[in-house]
């Protein structure tokens, strides 16, 4: 399936879901990237960890890529946030560099959420402004064993589709 066809498919899947809105405890646990099912740019390895408590989502991503320019030939990316699914901005800290960006999460349907990545920059007037750097539409399968993350750039173009398999606890 071409990435350009995924957007309509994502919205159709979302529309088929019921209309209860709350943090999804089905996301709890560790998820490992399934490279064979994924499309577009992706890490060599990627593990996501979710801990859902009440209306908050605690998320950690740990990625490793081969990169000849990085120390030891390996680039590591590790970030973490705790956020509610209320559309507000929450800090997302890069645990490798210490840099903080922001995320905003909205639950679109049960098992479907949209995460917006945001950076804060200084505008021409010297005031801080928020700039959207991308979106993820994240969909948990009905059986809770697979999770799909669609990366959409600020112009609405799908950049990658990553599929994760839930790991046994």
**Cα distance between residue 165 and residue 34, in whole Å:** 6
Tokens of 61: 């991503």
Domain of 21 in residue numbering reads as 3-166
CB atoms within 10 A of CB 7: 15
Q: Which of 18, 43, 20, 21 is nearest to 32 (CA)?
A: 43
Backbone phi and psi for residue 7, each to the nearest 5 degrees, phi listed first: -55, -55
- How many separate domains does the chain show? 1
Which residues are CB-contacts of 22 (< 8 A; sequence separation ≥ 6)? 55, 85, 107, 110
Question: What CATH number does residue 132 fall under?
Answer: 2.40.128.20
pTM of the model: 0.81
Per-residue pLDDT tens digits of the chain, which is 169 residues long:
555 545 555 444 444 443 344 667 789 999 999 999 999 999 999 999 999 988 899 999 999 988 767 677 778 889 999 999 999 999 999 998 999 999 999 999 889 999 999 999 998 899 999 999 999 999 999 999 999 999 999 999 999 999 999 999 8
* 116 and 122 Cβ atoms separated by less than 8 Å: no
CB count in 10 Å sphere of residue 26: 18
Ramachandran region, residue 144 (left: φ > 0; alpha: ψ -120 to 50; beta: rest)? left
């Amino acid at each position: 399936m071409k990435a350009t066809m995924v957007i309509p498919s994502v919205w159709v899947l979302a529309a088929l879901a019921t209309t209860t809105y709350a943090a999804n405890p089905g996301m709890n646990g560790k998820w490992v990237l399934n490279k064979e099912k994924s499309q577009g740019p992706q890490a060599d390895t990627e593990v996501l960890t979710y801990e859902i408590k009440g209306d908050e989502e605690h998320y950690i991503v740990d990625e490793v890529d081969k990169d000849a320019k990085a120390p030891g030939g390996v680039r590591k990316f590790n970030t973490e946030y705790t956020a509610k699914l209320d559309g507000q901005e929450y800090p997302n800290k890069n645990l490798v560099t210490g840099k903080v960006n922001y995320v905003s999460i909205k639950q679109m349907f049960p098992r479907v959420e949209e995460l917006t990545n945001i950076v804060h920059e200084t505008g021409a007037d010297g005031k801080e402004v928020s700039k959207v750097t991308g979106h993820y539409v994240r969909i948990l399968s009905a059986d809770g064993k697979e999770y799909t993350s669609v990366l959409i750039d600020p112009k609405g173009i799908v950049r990658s589709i990553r599929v994760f398999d839930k790991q046994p606890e």
